[in-house]
Structure 1
Amino acid sequence: MSQTFTFRHLPILIFLSFLYSFSASAQNRTTVKGTVQDGQKQPLAYATIVLVSLPDSALVNSQMTDEAGAYVFEKVTSGRYTIKASRIDHNTVASPAFEVGTQPIQVPVLQTALKTTALKEVVVQGQRPLLEQHADRLIMNVEKLNTAGENSLEVLKNAPGVRLDKDDNIIFRGSGSVNVMINGKMTYMTGSELSMYLKSLPASAVSKVELIANPPASFDAAGTAGIINIVLKRELTKGMNGTLSAGSGYGTYEKAWVALNLNYNLGKVSFYTRLSTGHVNSYNKLTMERTIRDSLYRSVNYWHPITKTVNVVAGADYFINPRHTVGIMVKGFTSPQDVLTTSNSVNYDVRGNAIGSVQMNNPRDVVSNNYSLNLNYKFDIDTTGRSLTFDADYVRYHNGTDESFANQYFAEAIQNGKEFENLRSFSDAATQIYAIKTDYVHPLAHNWKAETGWKSSWVRNDADIRFEKQLENTWQTDERRTNQFLYDENINAGYLSFSKKVSKALSLKAGLRAEQTILRGNSRTTQKVVDRNYWELFPSVFASYNPSDEHQFSTSYSRRISRPNYRSLNPFTFFSDPYMGIKGNPFLQPSFSNSLVASYTFKNFQLLSISYLQENDFVMEVVSQNDATKESISTPQNLSRARTLSLSSGGTLPVRKWWSANLQLQGNLNKVSTPVQGEQYNQEQFSWDFSTDNNFTLPKNFSVQYSAYYNSPSVSGLFRHKASYLMSIGGKKTFMDGRATVSVKLNDIFDTARFRANLNYSNVNMYWENEWESRRLNLTFDYKFGNSKIKAARHRKTGTSDEENRVSK
């Protein structure tokens, strides 16, 4: 069948035309090349070469010399220039000024002598602060913390503005609508799958955490609160090196884990792999109280999962030549779980007497696994900074659960004369994601730079759950709890941004991203079908002003979107006990936000950061209570508006030479205004939180760490949270010339960490208290191996993928 041109092809043609026009504008340029030698007239490899324009001394481009001491800048525009060469162990030298026209330029040989103060072996130890403020993000250097025995999810709790809710969902800037990336690539997960994955990733593998409140246009617009990017450790030195970590811990039950981070860089080819496996025996205790008329319903649920995890990441980068780089990355993750959940729900009358109860026994086998493949390519078109990147991704997630429920009723809780009820369920959920993405960067005259790109992704989610109940020794389908839900989604996005370095101190950037969403949700059991097709625009603006190295000012604005995750759209009902259930909502709409951030940093200490976040049509769990059946069903719904104003200050203080303290103080004003179940709901609360992390350096490579945090009462959506706090202490010892470290940490010394919240509106009056193994004693051993003194290889950044991460909770 022949294909004809349609309107949907127009954005692609416009984008290709835009790329062509940029390419055409960069013709009629010439080449500048030369060599650098040391004092003995031998080639000086890995020296930094800078091309500087005159007379304003503006940096045009930079690179490193190869093994022969040679360098080449291609397609340099007409003008007057000079070349500067430097290396850490050699003096800086500059070439005479030269004019560039249409003919190639051969710069005279540059010769530089060894610094008289240089050591035979140069060892550079950078003392980075815990927090670094950049124009578009706040960076937390995890290696400055004592994270002995912790996982990546626990690391995030140390980041400013980040906390976890009762289900270990990540809350950033007071909102749960945040996207999490690993090394610049979306995790594709939310909820329990994301928390389980991060728990399998040891903290020792994490280098830093980037908090991006207002991402630029090149990022997906998803995530109204912004993006959290977890950067894992990876060495770029030639040769082989890596880190081996092993540890064990004990809280209520035992835990053990081991991880290997291995890098092998041959210069032309770079390999890397990360392997981790763990055994975690843990528990959660959830206490819930519901007041229905004059009666109190109190349930205590114990959730006891035994989890085994295996996490594998492997990849390679092949540097075809200085312009072309190709890469491949594969990831695999599996996490089988044996879970036993028990529940005891007791009904009390107005005088406090127990008048009925239900006991539930819920054994469950869960298998979660996923794998992904990424292919990437980068083309450095010329030495002016023009580059083209391309990424192709495939991701598959699968989750299967087999479980049974045995409910026993006592006294007035007996229903229809039955004291026993047996149920079982089988669920299977699979998600497949395909994505292609390309980005183009083009420097312009007068310190301008343009960026553009296109991305298309396709998602297919198939969730099937079958519930059965036993009637007279036969199993029959429970129609109320059985459903199959199919979800298909296609998102097409394009962006354009411009940036300019106005002066040495002032930088500006603005961008616009357009996204088209085409989706179809089909509940085969309930015959509910939802089709949508819509376009949205997402502007972003950034400005940074750095009058000196000590003073940094930055401000940014962005509009963003949060699309419902796939399970939230699935209209089936899952009952966690005979009276509590969770139900999806296929008619959920996306929510939108406007975000503004301004900050001032002095000497790497963030003296003040002001953040304003307004979310419209934000999604929140709303509990509907049936006073007759005593059932409470939680359903995600679009609420009207939530606003959060935050002021924060924090950074690292050198109290003494042997004592450094990181302090964080934040205040939040939260407002929620929305109709709920036919009534207007207004909630406003000022809250504050404080955290401190202290490091005490002792003789003979010993150190002691003390940390604590306090969160005051606060509000989030319809929930009113009670205060929480904890204190932790630890110590570590380094030996074998700094290659080996033994760490011990007692987390939550007094076992005070809890999630406690109230829910009050309409006929709903509920109280939650969630308790977990917060108090734990962990012991870890880290060992760095390989040659860390080999000259650094040339640094190449491969393309990254910004994908959806809304796989079901």
Structure 2
Amino acid sequence: MFKSTFTLALLILSAYFSWVFGQGSPQGAFTISGSFTSEDPASVIVTLQNALDNTLVKNESADDKGHFVFEHIAVGNYRISITSNGKTAFEGRPFQLTADLNLGTLSAGKETRLEEVTIRKSKPYIERSEGKMILNVDSNIGSAGTSAFEVLEKAPGVNIDANDNITLRGRGGIQIQIDGKSSPMSGTTLANYLKGIPSGVIDKIEFITNPSAKYDASGSAIINIKMKKEKKAGTNGSITSAYGQGRYPKTSNSLNLNHREKKWNTYGTYSFAYRKGFNKLILDRKFYENGNLTGAYEQDNYLKMDFRNHILRAGADYFASPKHTFGIIVSGVSNKFNPNGKNYSDVFDETYTRMSRFETVNHSRENWHNQSVNLNHKFVIDTVGTQLVSDFDYANYGNKTRQDFTTKYLDLDNAEYQNRYLLNGDLRGDLNLFSLKSDFTAILRDKTKIETGAKSSVVKADNNLKFYDMSSGIPVFDDAKSNHFIYEENINAAYVNVSKELGKKWNAYFGLRLENTNITGNQLANNSRFKNNYTQVFPSALLSYAMNDNNSFELNYSRRIDRPSYEQLNPFKFFLDPTTYKEGNPYLDPQTTHSFDFTHIYKQKIYTTITFSRTTDNITGVIAPSDDNPEITVQTDKNLTTADVVGLFSTIPFEITSWWSCNNSLNCYYGFYSGNIANTPIENQGNFNFNINSVHTFKMKNGFSAELTGNYRAREIYAYMDVDPIGYLNLGFQKKFKNKSSLKLTINDVFFTNGTTAVTQFRGYHENFKVNRDTRTAVISYTYNFGGGNGPQPRRAGGAEDIKQRAASVNG
């Protein structure tokens, strides 16, 4: 089957490239030239910026007569600025480029005489920049009033399974970052955290499948959620408020403020979200011995959760001189949620005759919080781009969880036939991390760029879980379920990157990162300890070729490691009912991934990537029988031997009419999984899978617009799990007002079809399950932007990038 699929893919690619290369001569790439009068022309650096978002397009040096030229520049809106001897000598107004342009002679203190352009164009939903796919959240009407979790769930190439594990283009072990700092959780805990972040505070999401050596080596790929940050001078900001209704209500509110005056830039963000939802799980479990049924459970679980999430972030930059900038960022997060659930379980014997029932009621109170501070310094050594950037990070994560379970045992007449089982859990978690890093960048005269740096981080997590049997009315400590786990980790790293332009068409990059890892785990309950120390090298490389103004190619490679999160290592048990619990695996090995991407870029609009990755010791979430009791089901993580993914990903935007445009993405791949878990060996198990995401935008008069989004994911076999197809539809409407405000109405999952149905099979165990959440919602949101000024200002993310992926509590 794979050979036939691969042959078909090659035929499709051949037809695709034949169509692309037959589209005619290059269009839309022009030259910008000019000159600048200076006593020292060799010191003149000319910067070209995109006037839409103030991002850097290109830097050029002036020749000995002050002349400069930018070649192969696409149609768009730009601005020019010039520095001479390290000082700003010229700042120009925005202008529109539609043909070759000569700016003439520019003089210090004067602006370009070109007619100023008012920039009104919206960012596209999907962009690509420097090896990243970028999702602009505000450009998608359907994202309004939702959460970070829901935005990710609908993103092209992203899958989230019933256990809240996130994969990107078929790869697991994804590192989730918030503003460049890795999120503190994984699995369900991370999902609950993301559900508390309102989409209104998110600017964009970056998908980096092959990060360079400058990034921490953790994670097979990176998803970076970037929060909104005002960049204009003066005082400005925005206010957003949203209300949504599904089965339960949801609301989110946020305030962004920024003020820049002279040498100081201060900014802050506050958001509050209340989201009530449900998780309905229906499952059918059957147990076998030598192929014969020995028993079964039919279970119906309904869990309600209400999230109260507060996020506060504030910072300041002090521009001490043109060379030195000092900054501080402080942030705090409080996330309270109260899971309350009921589980009904019918028990069957070997003839599938109902024997009894038990009912479990769960009342929990969870309070998660973290505080962090980042201190940073930027030293600009010259105007070419040589600089030294240093970061110090400290963060504390903590949680308090109270769990109360009451189980009733009923006979066929619904009468209680034994005493109720009352279980009380008290979990306290605390984690501290420190990180120090420095990055040095140098630009040589031959346009060679060298980056090098070092980083050291220290983490200590202390989690104490106590369970008490309250059945008799007197607390009895349960040492079989209780545990006290201490985890310590130290990672030391150094890297070097070298990139160079090889003529006008070729660019090459090579990077090498060295990481030394030292970890210690200690279970105080049974005095069990483990240690692991290893040093590994992580190479990365990229080669790009601009064949012409329409077509360019990239070949990208990286080796990555995904260390188990502290939650995945935590051996604590978290109960759904007496027959089902979740626990970590302290002996889980890190997984390593070799990844290759070959990308074709057409007119900077259509991106097509052929990808291959091989992951060894692949960390896989499984729901399998317990090693101690085959009729008890455990959700945990295990290491597969290998996981290979071969795929193709493409984004294709186009305009159907002047008022109707669409952005389409196709992600298809074949996964091969090999390993042996729960005495069930598999060899190259998997199937051909594809995901389709299509966003249609309709522009109307008087500031009105509408949006229709469709998502479809085909059947997927992921190791031991077989997941049914999923498809859903979203609608959105928007009205923009002249006072810088906008009103949005969205209806998500119109037909309530965004649910997961799957089968899990091991030797002696078979499970069917179906999961539904509160996905069908109507949301209305209003955003008002205020203030003025212009000119982008830099913002910092900090240096604790890798460790916060796993730096949460060791509990779930």
TM-score (normalised: structure 2): 0.85
Q: Is the 8 A contact 1:288 1:768 kept in 2?
A: yes
* Higher mean displacement: 215-224 or 312-321: 312-321
Q: Would you say the 8 A contact 1:49–1:86 is kept in 2?
A: no
1:206–1:510 CA distance, 2 compared to 1 (3 A): same
1:88 matched to 2:94: yes
Q: Judging changes above 3 Å, is the alpha-carbon distance between structure 1 residues 135 and 71 closer, same or farther for their aligned structure 2 residues?
A: closer
Residue equivalent to 2:209: 213
1:232 corresponds, among 224, 227, 230, to 227
Q: SS at 1:474's partner residue?
A: coil
Judged with a 3 Å threshold, the aligned counterparts in structure 2 of structure 1 residues 492 and 415 are, in CA distance, closer, same or farther, namely farther
**Higher mean C-alpha deviation, range 457-466 or range 563-572:** 563-572
The residue matched to 2:656 in structure 1 has which SS? strand
Correspondence list, 1:690-769, <5 A: 690-737=692-739, 739-769=740-770
| In 2: Cα distance, 1:570 partner to 1:801 partner | 22
Aligned residues: 735
- Post-superposition CA distance 1:720-744 (Å, at most 9, x none): 111111111121111134x111111
Q: Which moved more, 1:406-415 or 1:682-691?
A: 406-415
**Which residue is equivalent to 1:118?**
115
Aligned to 2:84: 72
Aligned to 2:531: 531
Structure 1 residue 208 displacement after superposition: 1.7
In structure 2, the CA distance between the partners of 1:114 and 1:31, relative to structure 1 (3 Å rule), is closer
Q: Deviations over 1:404-453 (max 9, x none)?
A: 11101123899997341111110011111100000001122422111110
Distance between the aligned counterparts of 1:648 and 1:141, measured in 2?
A: 19
CA 1:610 to 1:34, structure 2 compared with 1: closer, same or farther past 3 Å? closer
Read off the aligned partner of 2:198 and give its amino acid letter.
P
Q: Contact 1:378/1:390 (CA < 8 Å) preserved in 2? A: yes
SS in 2 for 1:743: strand
The 3-state SS of whatever aligns with 1:545 is: strand
CA–CA distance in 2 between the matches of 1:576 and 1:363? 11
The equivalent residue for 1:51 is 61
Deviations 1:46-101 (A, max 9, x none): xx9953246996889xxxxxxxx9943259xxxxxxx9985436996567xxxxxx
For 2:109 and 2:785, locate their aligned partners in 1 and report how far apart those are by CA, in whole Å: 37
What code does the residue aligned with 2:249 have?
A: E
Aligned equivalents of 1:440, 1:756: Cα separation in 2: 50
Q: Could you say which residue in structure 2 is the equivalent of 1:42?
A: none
* Alignment-derived partner of residue 642 in structure 1: 643
For residue 131 of structure 2, give the secondary structure of its aligned residue in structure 1: coil
Amino acid at match of 1:118: E
1:660 aligns to 2:670 (yes or no): no
Which residue of structure 2 lines up, in the alignment, with residue 684 of structure 1?
686
> How far is 1:569 from its partner?
1.7
Do residues 673 (structure 1) and 674 (structure 2) align?
A: yes
Q: Deviations over 1:324-370 (max 9, x none)?
A: 11111111111122221110011235665422111001111111111
* Residues 394 and 433, structure 2, Cα contact 8 Å, conserved in 1: yes
User: How high is the sequence identity, in percent, across the aligned residues?
Assistant: 29
CA contact (8 A) 1:86 1:93 kept: no
Write the distance in 2 (CA, Å) between the matches of 1:89 and 1:625.
Answer: 67
Residue type of the partner of 1:676?
I
In the TM superposition, what is the alpha-carbon distance from 1:606 to its structure 2 partner? 2.9
Tell me which of 119, 126, 134 is aligned to 1:139. 134
Distance change (3 Å), C-alpha of 1:704 and 1:796: closer
State the Cα distance separating 1:476 from its structure 2 match: 0.8
- Decide whether aligned partners of structure 1 residues 570 and 706 sit closer, same or farther in structure 2, where only a CA change above 3 A counts: same
Matched, 1:148 2:144: yes
1:260 corresponds to which residue? 255
* 2:194 aligned residue (181, 195, 198): 198
Q: Name the stretch that deviates more: 557-566 or 230-239.
A: 230-239
CA distance 1:127–1:262, change in 2 (3 Å)? same
C-alpha separation in 2, matches of 1:483 and 1:798: 36
Counterpart contact for 1:390–1:439, Cα < 8 Å: yes
1:310 equivalent in alignment to 2:310: yes
Aligned counterparts of 1:762 and 1:629: Cα–Cα separation in 2: 11
1:604 corresponding residue in structure 2? 604
Q: Which amino acid aligns with 1:72?
A: S
Contact 2:198/2:273, CA 8 A, preserved across alignment = no
Tell which deviates more after alignment, 604-613 or 527-536.
Answer: 604-613
Q: Is the 8 A contact 2:324 2:378 kept in 1?
A: yes
Aligned residue in 2 for 1:555: 555
Structure 1 residues 658 and 688, CA gap change in structure 2 (3 angstroms) = same
Does residue 319 (structure 1) correspond to residue 319 (structure 2)? The answer is: yes
What is the CA-CA distance between 1:468 and the residue it aligns to? 0.9
Does residue 172 (structure 1) correspond to residue 182 (structure 2)? The answer is no
CA deviations over 1:13-37 (Å, ceiling 9, x no partner): xxxxxxxxxxxxxxxxx9966999x
- Shift in Å at residue 786 of structure 1? 1.0
Change (3 A) 1:192 1:371: farther
Structure 1 position 211, deviation (Å): 0.7
Report if aligned partners of 1:238, 1:267 keep a CA contact under 8 Å in 2.
no
- Contact 2:452 2:495 (C-alpha < 8 Å) held by counterparts: yes
Q: Which residue in the other structure is 2:366 paired with?
A: 366
- CA gap of 1:529–1:309, structure 2 versus 1, over 3 A, is same
The question of whether the paired residues in 1 share the 8 Å contact of 2:392 and 2:798 is answered with no
Code of the residue aligned with 1:303 in structure 2: it is L
| Residues 135 and 542 in structure 1, CA contact (< 8 A), matched pair in contact too | no
Residues 701-725 of structure 1: CA deviation (Å, up to 9, x unaligned): 1111111111011022321111111
Deviation at 1:318, TM superposition (A): 1.1
Q: Structure 1 residue 203: deviation in Å? A: 1.6
Q: Cα gap change, 1:316/1:574 in structure 2, threshold over 3 Å: closer, same or farther?
A: same
2:198 is aligned with 1:188: no
Q: Deviation of residue 189 (structure 1)? A: 2.8
Deviates more, 1:645-654 or 1:151-160: 151-160
Q: 1:634 to 1:143 in 2, by over 3 A?
A: closer
Q: Report the alpha carbon displacement of residue 127 of structure 1 after superposing the two structures with TM.
A: 4.6
Q: Tell me, what secondary structure is at the counterpart of 1:692?
A: strand
Change (3 A) 1:714 1:794: closer
- Is 1:131–1:604's contact at 8 Å kept on the other side of the alignment? no
2:735 alignment partner AA:
K
CA distance, structure 1, for counterparts of residue 795 and residue 283 of structure 2: 53
Tell me whether 166-175 or 579-588 shows the greater mean CA deviation.
Answer: 166-175
Matched, 1:515 2:515: yes
Q: Is the 8 A contact 1:290 1:298 kept in 2?
A: yes
2:633 is aligned with what amino acid? S
The amino acid across from 2:654 in the alignment is: L
Pairing of 1:769-780 with structure 2 (within 5 A): 769-780=770-781
| Structure 1 unmatched runs, 5+ | 1-29, 37-47, 61-68, 76-82, 96-107
CA contact (8 A) 1:130 1:651 kept: no
SS of match in other structure, 1:284: strand
Q: 1:755 to 1:798 in 2, by over 3 A?
A: closer
CA distance in 2, matches of 1:74, 1:145: 40
Distance 1:726-1:796 versus aligned 2 partners, 3 A rule: closer
Task: Report the counterpart of residue 266 of structure 2 in structure 1.
Answer: 271
SS in 1 for 2:85: strand
- Structure-2 separation of matches of 1:278 and 1:500: 46
Q: Any conservation in 2 of the 1:486–1:521 contact (CA below 8 Å)?
A: yes
Residue 143 of structure 1 aligns to a residue whose secondary structure is helix
- Tell me, yes or no, if structure 1 residue 283 matches structure 2 residue 283: no
**Paired letter, 2:280:** K
Contact preservation (8 Å) 2:686, 2:716: no
The one-character-per-residue Cα deviations of 1:260-315 (angstroms, maximum 9, x if unpaired) are 11111214211111111122121111112111233331111111112211111111
| Deviation digits for residues 575-626 of structure 1 (CA, Å, limit 9, x no counterpart) | 2211012222221111111011111121233352111121100112342247
